[in-house]
Amino acid sequence: MESKAIARDIGYPARKVRQVADLVRGMSVEKALEVLKFTPRAAAAPMSKTIKSAMHNMVNRKGGTVEAEDMRIKSISVDEGKTLYRIRPRAQGRAYRIRKRSSRIQVVLSLQKEA
């Protein structure tokens, strides 16, 4: 059984969020949340929030019979979101474009296989 959560328009560039996603890809949910708790990157907070959302989605679908240690991260994908364009005034009447990038996080959890 799988559950999914999507976080859209996270205020960090996809390149920086991917670095955090690479840390926890394939881990159990409990261990991933512990790693993200001590990760000094700003993108760790929305990543852990998305993982918790997917975890609660699975708990709600299974009727509360599953625990966090029984789940693992099947896949995490980080894509580019909307880009906001702003203007920075420069010398002699020129203007430079500032691109404020955002990202989209998709987390898929599955139950660990029992041996």
Tell me the pLDDT tens digit for each residue of 33-54.
Answer: 999 999 999 999 999 999 999 9
Secondary structure (DSSP) of the chain: -EEEEEEEEESS-HHHHHHHHHHHTTSBHHHHHHHHHT---TTHHHHHHHHHHHHHHHHHHHTS---GGGEEEEEEEEEEEEEEEEEEE-GGG-EEEEEEEEEEEEEEEEEPPP-
pLDDT at 79: 96
pLDDT at 69: 80
Ordered by where they begin, the domains of the chain are 2-111 (3.90.470.10)
